Amino acid sequence: MNNNNSLVLGNYLWDRTTHYLQPSPLNGKAEEQEAVKLTNKQKALLNCLVDAYPNTISNKEIIQQVWGYEHISQESLPQLINRTRRTLEDNEKTILVNTPGVGYSLNFKFAPEEPVLKPITKPEECALKSTSKQNAKLWNALFIVMLLVTLFNLYETTKALYYKHDFEQVLKAKAYPEIKRSDDGKTVVTINNHECIYHKDQLLLQCP
């Protein structure tokens, strides 16, 4: 026996614990239909047919389960069947199915059960928060490293451009005209009519 109490009866969904038939979204007309209330006898009839599913239950057993020891007429069961068929819109008699000489059976489907979402427990929630914080720290560290690398590259580029300018100026500079080499191999530099000796090995300029 399936423990699912939600059944599909034609165009309706029925929760066996209630008296109400809810429009089924499966038929595409749920918005146009309204909920329908079952009488106590209709609910008892459907319940006994569901309990007997997939077997056919005899008229005598239906009467016993729906009316008990209450005195009824021979038309009570056929009338209840007809009212219930109208309620279910079972015009083709394909939901409440009669097997002549045997009894009745119910043609239905169990509604698909909705998946139960597992709630996030406290440890899992804490783990998620911890992971989020770690990821945030990693991104912050990565951002700082990228910023430092960018600033360093910018500094090196600026310095290279600066020294490039100085180097180009040196290349364009004219040689000092008052420089001559003496017979003994010394370099003589004349500055303001004074001769100075340049010692290249010592990078020293002597002006006597």
Class of the domain covering 6-110: mainly alpha
Tell whether the model's pLDDT for residue 181 goes beyond 80.
Answer: no
pLDDT band at 57 (very low <50, low <70, confident <90, very high): very high
Q: How far apart are CA 60 and CA 67, in angstroms?
A: 10
* pTM for this predicted structure: 0.53
Domain ranges across the chain: 6-110, 168-208
pLDDT band at 183 (very low <50, low <70, confident <90, very high): confident
Sheet holding 204-206, edge to edge: 179-181, 187-191, 194-199, 204-206
pLDDT per position as a tens digit, 115-143: 555 555 566 666 777 788 888 888 999 89
Please choose, from the candidates 114, 101, 105, the residue with its C-alpha nearest in 3D space to the C-alpha of residue 6: 114
pLDDT band at 33 (very low <50, low <70, confident <90, very high): confident
